[in-house]
Amino acid sequence: MSDLKTVAMRRAEPQFAGGPLTADVHPEEVANYTAAGWERADGKAVPAAVPIPVAEGEKPVAEQSLFELRRTAKALGVKFTPKTKLDELRTAVIAAMPVTEPLEEPANG
């Protein structure tokens, strides 16, 4: 059995047909999941994400069009198809962005 601590998360509706409504998430990924519409299953507030640097003249990921997100995804090495929807691509891009510092300390126990 693993000693890895995870955070239980949930969402009201799946991001895509048949998608999950619950997930056990690594603590460093909680803010990324929150940005993609998830919430903690225990109802606790999620700490604000570490701001992701945006190159001068670039829009934040949440404001990028599908065309802009495709460019960002390519730069991050995110794989997608022409049929990938905006929300799915945004979630993948956010998940692929590097986290510069831990967002929450895992509970010791």
Instruction: Give per-residue pLDDT as tens, 76-105.
Output: 888 889 898 888 888 888 888 765 555 555
Both structure tokens of 62: 């949440």
Which one, of 32, 84, 94, 92, lies nearest residue 60 by Cα?
Answer: 94
With a CB cutoff of 8 Å and minimum separation 6, the contacts of 69 are: 61, 86, 89, 90, 93
Pairing of β 39-40 and β 22-25: unpaired
The domains of the chain are located at 7-96
DSSP string, 18-84: T--SEEEE-GGGHHHHHHTT-EETT-PPPPPPPPPP--TTPPPGGG--HHHHHHHHHHHT----TT-
What mean pLDDT value characterizes the chain? 77
pLDDT at 22: 92
When pLDDT is cut at 50, 70 and 90, the band that residue 47 belongs to is low
**Cα–Cα dist 77/70, whole Å:** 10
